[in-house]
Structure 1
Amino acid sequence: METDLDLLRIELSTLEKEMVEEVERRRVCSENIDSRQYNSWKNLIHYLTLRRADRRDLQLRLHNAGLSALSNSESHIRHQVQAVQKRLGVSLEEKDFATCNYQVSREILSENVTHLFASEVPHQPSIMVTLDSSVANSATFISDLLKAGMTVARINLAHESEKEWKQILQLIREAESISKKSCRIYMDLAGPKIRTKFIGKQRKLDQVPIKEGQLIYLGSSYEEVDEKKDLVISPTELEVLKFLKTGERVFIDDGKIQGVIEKIIGEELVGVRILKIIKKKPNLKPEKGINFPDSKIKINPLTEYDLKVLPFAVTHADLIGYSFVNRPRDIANLMQEMKKHGEKIPSVILKIETSLAVRNLPAMLFEGMKSPFFGVMIARGDLAVEVGFERLSEVQDEILWICEAAHVPVIWATQVMETLHKSGLATRAEITDASQATMAECIMINKGPHTLEVLDSLENIIQRMGTHRDKKRYTFRELKIASRFLARY
């Protein structure tokens, strides 16, 4: 009669066999993978094989048997499965074990992090700070940022011009000389910003009243509707209209206005029924973001403006943030364009900010592995609207898990300690959020009047959490609450 330990041996053996088979099935795909990414490529396939089925019962039985339940092993999953098998008495020689063990995976990730973010402290998050000409007005101030922990300076190419960007770069180089610290340069491409634009009689207005239950239109003109009683809003990227279908959701102004597509008239007019307005004043304003979380929109994330500023970015940036990247071919297109402007090209950071990007994340990681170094940013602003605020926490974790399996450094971005940055006083919620951010390899903060205070707080949180947790693996440093109790009672 088979015992549960016998069944565990069989299940783990079957799981490992599936991992090997899935790699072999894709062996031809590995030909274009950069040589230093090969271990990461295999481990990601191994991890996806594990996660394609519900393994909770297996984990519980492993835990009850006093064995590793395979959680916290994303970075070296096949090796961990083999280690558990050996504990169960399966005969495995050293040469049989996967080369990507815990130590190897840490070394790969550490090398990736150091290359991308100029990290000085192993296994602790780097800090990226957004700069523009309003805050980066002296080399001394930037030097203070570097001394306070900044290792990456972010320049958003959607704002200002080449003149201001060059001035900021010059100040950063001077600050490096003053502080004796190095700083990576990260430049964000603007990407296609889908925003509201008023047309017709509303063109000169700064807001238009709307109400729940109202039918408004997305389009380029009033030709098909009555301008006296209907409201037409023009998306700044009209190309999106042809990809929309009835029943799909539409979110405007960071989800404060929610609707559903009710009718489609031709290729350039879409009727949206407003279902919910979460605002004190139910007004619609121009230049507010529009999100289509259910729609499969196929527009090029590289805009004409992006192509115009790309030569500057390739020349001066260490890292390029790729906004609204959704598919592997988007990455291939950017790489092709960058190679037109020099042999040495910056590392690409994939900004995950749509539902489609989340679904396509594994495929995009495999495409990214054609380069020796790249990273991922969890762009939580648009992503929260796209996947829903309730699901954001879950999606953040999923991105972290999959990227850890691929040994890809992650940037945690959007509204990190924003209240402290603006007012000088942090909220309880954002301190908790900042502690969660330490699971990523880099934390991005925006510009604000209290940047040095934010850096000081972040460094404090990073130091404290670093003694308790390595990524999402909790570690057992001395816990004072335990030692005090045992000493006294």
Structure 2
Amino acid sequence: MRDTKIVATLGPASSDEQTLREMIRAGVNVVRINFSHGAAQDHIDRVNLVRRIAEEEGVYVGVLADLQGPKIRIAMFEEKSVVLSNGAEFVFDTDSATPGNVQRVGLDYPELIKDVTGGDILLLDDGKIRMKVLSKNESSLRCVVEQGGVLSNRKGINKLGGGLSAAALTSKDMTDILTAAAFEADFLAVSFPKNAADMYMARELMRNAGGTNALMIAKIERAEAIPNLEEILEASDGIMVARGDLAVEVGDAKVPALQKKMIRMAREKNKLSITATQMMESMITSHVPTRAEVSDVANAVLDGTDAVMLSAETASGAFPIETVRVMAQVCVEAASFTPINLDQEMVNRTFGRIDQSVAMAAMFTAYHFNANAILCMTESGSTALWMSRFNSGVPILCMSRNIHTLRRLSLYRTVSVVPMPTEDMTREHAMATAEALLMKRGLLKLGDLVVTTSGSTMGKIGGSDTMLVRRIGS
């Protein structure tokens, strides 16, 4: 059982049945549907295929719908690309219909002109090209190239330090939310939120579309989001450390420390975290990662992230299955070196709910009794979430009758999910059934010490009120 989960982006390289099946067998826990590419029906078909394969394989795979957000891009060039030299002047203007050349190009987001002023730094193509704004008028920006290179059609553009006024949710996003609700996404990732209001709006739109079971993930990729991180977390169920756009806005050197801060804050607030961007980028074209990439994934695991994410590596790369397999191996090895400081982590922590107190008591007891497993019988998954925020070194086996809960739990660190029979039964019958099922699957054996949490009334959300410690078979 692997503590840290793997999110894999689907695309042309990972859409056929055999590849998807092998990726799931290799360790994929959640698939990412990237709304920046593809048509709605393509996404629906992929989700249906994933869920059919997961059912056949006897596992639960979550679906993360990732909204495109406001992509601020340049328009098109006459020759598809130009080579910009250091010191050359270049103009951005509002004439996106006229193809660009080595002197100018149009903007798909003309409001950029209002958001910048003389002296501002513009970064294009994920920071590969850097320009300084010299002057502007109502319809154009005159810049000087500080770091040149090849600039091609539709590349993204950012302002160093942030400050762009583009709304987090576009009309395309609102349409895509309807699609995400239609295929019952388990998680909805919102791109470029600046504050809590952006997340509240996305949640309301998703609920109105019928997606009441989806957890909301805020992608932290704007400089403005950093000072508002606490309020964004309060309005979300989790965050994605989206290191690509974030690095462009705040600078590469600041991202590692921000990653650690965000993951730590998420765990303290009982929220989920996903670490993303270029985790195994070289495996797009190579069957082995670099040692730096292995260290990057391992450090995210040691930071306590719930999941590590693959983007182009599995969407369009040449080795999607191998990439998942290597990432899973790194996660397992890194977790074996994760320090366990449960007593220290619980110092000064207070719990205001009975079910939360039961969850924490189970963690404490399992750790000090050196239990073989924690068996969490849950309806909503909240008990498992609270447990997974701490590292006790004891596997958490979570059982539920709710299919939506089982899929959401696929993202929670240290949690393994097993379905419960759907028929009504007493708590004692349910516990006996759970233990028998887990023994059949090889997750427990006779003599194992197990700490179990459950509710007096089966099927009641927030009803966990009992902890039981026993040896299997005694």
**Structure with more helix by fraction:** 1
How many matched pairs? Answer: 337
Task: Using the TM superposition, give the Cα deviation of residue 156 of structure 1 relative to its aligned residue in structure 2, in angstroms.
Answer: 0.7
Partner residue, 2:196: 328
Report the Cα distance in structure 2 between the residues aligned to 1:197 and 1:229, rounded to whole angstroms: 11
Report the Cα distance in structure 2 between the residues aligned to 1:228 and 1:318, rounded to whole angstroms: 42
8 Å CA contact retained: 2:181, 2:211: no
Residue type of the partner of 2:240? M
Partner residue, 2:41: 163
Partner residue, 1:143: 21
Report the Cα distance in structure 2 between the residues aligned to 1:307 and 1:471, rounded to whole angstroms: 43
The alignment status of 1:452 with 2:324, answered yes or no, reads no
Distance 1:307 1:365, change over 3 A: same
Task: Using the TM superposition, give the Cα deviation of residue 336 of structure 1 relative to its aligned residue in structure 2, in angstroms.
Answer: 2.5
Alpha carbon RMSD of aligned pairs, Å? 2.7
8 Å CA contact retained: 1:155, 1:186: yes
**Structure with more strand by fraction:** 2
8 Å CA contact retained: 2:192, 2:221: yes
Report the Cα distance in structure 2 between the residues aligned to 1:302 and 1:416, rounded to whole angstroms: 27
8 Å CA contact retained: 2:78, 2:100: no
Q: More displaced, 394-403 or 147-156?
A: 394-403
Structure 1 outlier segments of 4+, above 3 Å: 227-230, 470-477
Q: Secondary structure at the match of 2:285?
A: helix
Distance 1:436 1:472, change over 3 A: farther
Partner residue, 2:91: 217
Distance 1:274 1:153, change over 3 A: same
8 Å CA contact retained: 2:92, 2:107: yes
Partner residue, 1:127: 6
Distance 1:213 1:141, change over 3 A: closer
Aligned 1:37-56 pairs, distance under 5 A? none
The alignment status of 1:298 with 2:170, answered yes or no, reads no
Task: Using the TM superposition, give the Cα deviation of residue 449 of structure 1 relative to its aligned residue in structure 2, in angstroms.
Answer: 2.8
Task: Using the TM superposition, give the Cα deviation of residue 288 of structure 1 relative to its aligned residue in structure 2, in angstroms.
Answer: 1.2
Distance 1:218 1:142, change over 3 A: same
Report the Cα distance in structure 2 between the residues aligned to 1:135 and 1:463, rounded to whole angstroms: 24
Q: Secondary structure at the match of 1:150?
A: coil
Distance 1:311 1:286, change over 3 A: same
Deviations 1:362-419 (A, max 9, x none): 2212233xxxxx1111111112222212222222222223223222211011112222
Task: Using the TM superposition, give the Cα deviation of residue 133 of structure 1 relative to its aligned residue in structure 2, in angstroms.
Answer: 4.7
Aligned 1:227-306 pairs, distance under 5 A? 231-266=103-138, 268-277=139-148, 282-306=149-173
Greater Rg, structure 1 or structure 2? 1
Residue type of the partner of 2:109? E
Partner residue, 2:186: 318
8 Å CA contact retained: 1:244, 1:295: no
Distance 1:472 1:260, change over 3 A: farther
TM-score by length of 2: 0.66
8 Å CA contact retained: 2:75, 2:100: no
Deviations 1:53-78 (A, max 9, x none): xxxxxxxxxxxxxxxxxxxxxxxxxx
Q: Secondary structure at the match of 1:423?
A: coil
Distance 1:472 1:432, change over 3 A: farther
Unaligned runs of 5+ in 1: 1-119, 369-373, 478-489
8 Å CA contact retained: 1:133, 1:168: no
8 Å CA contact retained: 1:130, 1:445: yes
Residue type of the partner of 2:336? T
Unaligned runs of 5+ in 2: 345-390, 394-474
Aligned 1:361-400 pairs, distance under 5 A? 361-368=229-236, 374-400=237-263
Report the Cα distance in structure 2 between the residues aligned to 1:211 and 1:288, rounded to whole angstroms: 17
Report the Cα distance in structure 1 between the residues aligned to 2:211 and 2:86, rounded to whole angstroms: 54
8 Å CA contact retained: 2:283, 2:318: no
Task: Using the TM superposition, give the Cα deviation of residue 148 of structure 1 relative to its aligned residue in structure 2, in angstroms.
Answer: 1.9
TM-score by length of 1: 0.64
Deviations 1:66-116 (A, max 9, x none): xxxxxxxxxxxxxxxxxxxxxxxxxxxxxxxxxxxxxxxxxxxxxxxxxxx
